[in-house]
Amino acid sequence: MSDGRHRQPIWRSVAVLTVVLAAGLLCTMQPPGWRTLLTYELPGFGAAVAVLFGVRCYRPQSASAWRLLALGIMTSVLADFLWDSEGLLPVDPKVFGHLVDACYLLTYPAYLLAAVWFLGGRASKRDTTLLLDGAIYALAGWLALWVLVVHPQLAGGGLGAWDWLPTVLYPPLDVMVLILVWRLGRGDIRRTAPWLLISAAFTTMFVADGLYALLAMPTSGWVSDALDVSWLMAYAGLAAAAVHPGMRYLIANPEPTVRDHDRVRVVALGLALVTPFLLILLAPEDLDAVGDLLVPVGLLLVLATAVRFTISSHRNRDAETALAFRATHDSLTGLANRASLLDCLELATRRAARNHESCSVLFLDLDDFKIVNDSLGHAVGDQLLRTVADRLRRFARAEECVARLGGDEFVVVLEGIRGIDDAIEAAERLVGLFDESFSLGATDVHLTASVGVVPDAERSVGDVESVLRDADLAMYEAKQSEARRISIFEPTMHQHAIARLEIKNALRTAISDGELRLVFQPIFDTVTRRPIASEALLRWHRADGSVVAPLDFIPIAEASHAILPIGEWVVETAARELASIGASDLAISVNVSPRQLADPNFADHVLEACRRTGLAPERMILELTESALVEPDPTVDLNLEALGAAGFQMAIDDFGTGYSSLAYLTRLEIDWIKIDQIFVSGLGRNPSDETLVRAIIHMAHDLGLRVIAEGVETQAQLEVLTNLGRDAVQGFLLARPSSQLVAVTDELAPVESTGAQYR
């Protein structure tokens, strides 16, 4: 419940309490008669009307509960009217008194039903023990009142037992209502003004009823007047709660937090249970007169307490069972969790080793599950995970372990495997589970999965964590491969994982340690035959003298977010190098990763780098990959819009490799297209490549874009590209990457081809 619900205006509630209190005090100053009667009953009736007004005005979730409170007030006011008019109407006083008591007692079913209705969806099995507690307290209280108050009055003559019976029932019934109201007031509801007012109202009623019984039903004097005002203020408390705006939220939420054995409840039950024995000690001289009452009521108390604790014991046992299940199982799918999986895997590997069999672990990860969550919502994603879990249960035998490690990762432990062939066959059947689409209501979802296999898990008895690690590595290899969905673990995978981890850790200090360097490869204009730009290429020279290839560390930097500070360093360093040579006719080209483009601060970092180095934005070309542009992304589009507006040039790097959608060419402001080396390498030998390159060049020119052909390594390639009309070329044939940024070259001067791969 938000704080706004707690800070509602309370002036209406204060006004109701003030008016009713004034009316009650005025009533005590009037002589008995019709004037007193109207002065007392009219405010009570007004309180019931105020409750109904609150229901009509605020339309609460629990409108029926509020109407029941109004009914209880009206019934009580009717009893007050009959009581006050006893001497004014020609009716037998004895009959009149029983009618009054009947009306008073009828108010309690309305109050009790209202309290239960307020509990609403929060009512649960736990409320059974709560009601039993209330019954035990009420029974003990009634017995104490009867023995200590009523019995002495009966022994002295005057009123009979039936005259006293209703009076000693009021306080226990108040206790029942109070317990339900307090039960309602857990969590945020306890802080609301309506709940506080209702609690105060029934507490006032309980105190007044208790004093009325203990003081032997006073009918005159200041005590009687004080009790009358107290009852009237109880009605006013309910009305004040109803006219408060927060009353619309007074209904409990599901899944309460109730402890069956908290200290206060146990102590209270203990006192209630020993009440008959305490009463025996307090009334020994007249024990025979009350013994017939103490024994059956005492037995009833013991029976109710036994039932109450039996229910609690069963509930605690069920709770312990549920807690143990939650500790070993995934809450969403009901499959084993990681802790349970490790235990199962330990037992399975030991059995396999003892029986000279194989035990295999299949580690499964759903492909592109994030797309399902992002497009259809997490609720559908959760439903999909539960459906996958059901298929995996049917796939495995009853004695085999199926677990969910979290997210979209699952593990199946297979026992009785005869070798690697059986493990591969099982993995293929597991992948085949995803051939059929998943029906999720009105939506059918098609998924694939990548599976890593450890066929000989029994080799790692006592070290099952390493088995899961190996299966995870194999799954990662399967996910990285476009040609296969199953990968068998090999020891080299672990070695590669260690190497990747070492690179990831070393990247954190590569910039500060001065290990990163830039080399520059010129891009030549084919008309002027001079360099128009140089591409800045990142190199990593370790302190130990080793050189890490870009393909080995760039993907790791992407995955670990280290690409962001590295990318900032590249942009600023390249800008500083170009600004330092003062060549106004040369641009610098910088590669930008998809993760950089998705960074909301990317455009600001690039603009700030140019400002610090003094480089004009139009002298920097940002090379973007198609993968970062195919799907519209608001952050990417905003970055490109801001950079384009500032004057930066945009180029599509490795154009045509793997993506068929070209919509981004019209959606974004692009200046250059770089034809990938894979298409250039066949020029002069493969007519199909020449046809494709010609089509790309014509399309680009029709869209107003310029074309750079990269990876030019032979004279034949250069001649074909010249004839096709491309705008610029780049490659080892023309110039190798150099640590020096060259500003001017006389003309395009091919160098001897080394056959080395571009970049």
CA–CA distance, 76 with 280 (Å, rounded to integer): 36
Tell me the mean pLDDT in the region 590-601.
Answer: 90
Torsion of CA 115, 119, 125, 131, to 10 degrees: -20
Per-residue model confidence (pLDDT) at position 120? 66
CA–CA distance, 432 with 449 (Å, rounded to integer): 9
Q: Which helix (H) or strand (E) holds 454?
A: strand 449-454
- What digits encode the pLDDT tens for the residues 230-240? 888 888 889 88
- Nearest CA-CA partner of 522 in 720, 741, 678: 741
Please check the confidence at residue 92 and state whether its pLDDT lies above 80. Answer: no
Count of other CB atoms within 10 angstroms of residue 734: 20
Per-residue model confidence (pLDDT) at position 755? 36
Please check the confidence at residue 465 and state whether its pLDDT lies above 90. Answer: no
CA–CA distance, 633 with 748 (Å, rounded to integer): 40
Please check the confidence at residue 255 and state whether its pLDDT lies above 70. Answer: no
Per-residue model confidence (pLDDT) at position 752? 43
Residue with tokens 């993968």: 627
Q: How confident is the model at residue 745 (pLDDT cuts 50, 70, 90)?
A: very low
Tell me the mean pLDDT in the region 343-351.
Answer: 87
As a CATH number, domain 500-730 is 3.20.20.450
Tell me the mean pLDDT in the region 674-698.
Answer: 82
Is it true that domain 338-489 has CATH number 3.20.20.70? Answer: no
Name the more confident of 266 and 446.
446
Lowest mean pLDDT among 371-375, 599-603, 729-733: 371-375
Tell me the mean pLDDT in the region 373-397.
Answer: 87
Per-residue model confidence (pLDDT) at position 6? 43
Share of residues in the chain with pLDDT > 90 (%): 12
CA angle 296, 171, 216 (to 5 degrees): 90
CA–CA distance, 519 with 739 (Å, rounded to integer): 4
Please check the confidence at residue 277 and state whether its pLDDT lies above 80. Answer: no
Pairing label, strands 358-366, 449-454: antiparallel
- What digits encode the pLDDT tens for the residues 512-526? 888 899 999 999 988
Tell me the mean pLDDT in the region 461-487.
Answer: 81
Tell me the mean pLDDT in the region 208-236.
Answer: 78
Pairing label, strands 531-541, 728-730: unpaired
State the amino acid at position 559 in one-letter form.
A
Query: Which residues, 6 or more positions from 372, have their beta carbon under 8 angstroms from its beta carbon?
Result: 380, 381, 384, 445, 447
Please check the confidence at residue 759 and state whether its pLDDT lies above 60. Answer: no
Q: How confident is the model at residue 457 (pLDDT cuts 50, 70, 90)?
A: confident
Lowest mean pLDDT among 96-100, 179-183, 367-371: 96-100
Q: How many CA atoms lie within 13 A of 43 on its CB side?
A: 30
Per-residue model confidence (pLDDT) at position 487? 86
Mean pLDDT of the chain: 79
Residue with tokens 């396999």: 352
Per-residue model confidence (pLDDT) at position 744? 46
Q: Rounded to whole angstroms, what are the CA distances from 374 to 205, 381, 495, 631?
A: 56, 9, 35, 13
Classify the C-alpha dihedral 304-309-312-313 as positive or negative: negative
Q: Which helix (H) or strand (E) holds 709?
A: strand 706-710
Per-residue model confidence (pLDDT) at position 80? 81
Please check the confidence at residue 215 and state whether its pLDDT lies above 60. Answer: yes
Per-residue model confidence (pLDDT) at position 754? 38
3-state helix, strand, coil split of the chain in percent (to 5) is 60, 10, 25
Name the more confident of 491 and 44.
44
Helices (H) and strands (E) in the chain, counts: 27, 16
Query: Of 27-31, 240-244, 263-267, which has the strongest mean pLDDT?
Result: 240-244
Q: What are the two backbone dihedrals, phi and then psi, of residue 158, each rounded to the nearest 5 degrees? A: 95, -120
- Nearest CA-CA partner of 475 in 398, 559, 412: 412
CA–CA distance, 629 with 55 (Å, rounded to integer): 56
CA–CA distance, 26 with 23 (Å, rounded to integer): 5
CA–CA distance, 681 with 713 (Å, rounded to integer): 8
Q: What are the two backbone dihedrals, phi and then psi, of residue 443, each rounded to the nearest 5 degrees? A: -115, 135
Contact 553, 590 (CB under 8 A): no
Helix axes 338-354, 287-328, angle to 10 degrees: 60
Please check the confidence at residue 454 and state whether its pLDDT lies above 90. Answer: no
Q: How many CA atoms lie within 13 A of 311 on its CB side?
A: 17
- What digits encode the pLDDT tens for the residues 139-185? 777 777 777 766 666 655 555 555 666 777 777 777 778 777 777 76
Size (the chain), residues: 759
CA–CA distance, 558 with 596 (Å, rounded to integer): 9
Contact 417, 423 (CB under 8 A): yes
Contact 387, 440 (CB under 8 A): yes
Lowest mean pLDDT among 100-104, 290-294, 468-472: 290-294
Please check the confidence at residue 51 and state whether its pLDDT lies above 60. Answer: yes
Query: Of 295-299, 318-322, 714-718, which has the strongest mean pLDDT?
Result: 714-718
Name the more confident of 119 and 399.
399
Task: Note every long-range contact of 560-568, with CB atoms under 8 Å and residues 24 or more positions apart, other chains counting.
Answer: 560/504, 560/507, 561/595, 562/504, 562/507, 562/508, 563/593, 563/595, 563/596, 564/595, 564/596, 564/599, 565/511, 566/507, 566/510, 566/511, 566/516, 566/538, 567/592, 567/593, 567/596, 567/602, 568/605, 568/609
- Nearest CA-CA partner of 240 in 281, 287, 297, 201: 201
Return the DSSP state at 7. S
CA–CA distance, 166 with 163 (Å, rounded to integer): 7
Name the more confident of 94 and 463.
463
Lowest mean pLDDT among 16-30, 189-203, 257-271, 620-634: 257-271
Per-residue model confidence (pLDDT) at position 568? 92
CA–CA distance, 384 with 408 (Å, rounded to integer): 10
Please check the confidence at residue 576 and state whether its pLDDT lies above 70. Answer: yes
CA–CA distance, 732 with 715 (Å, rounded to integer): 11
Query: Which residues, 6 or more positions from 363, have their beta carbon under 8 angstroms from its beta carbon?
Result: 409, 410, 411, 451, 452, 453, 454, 468, 471, 472, 474, 475
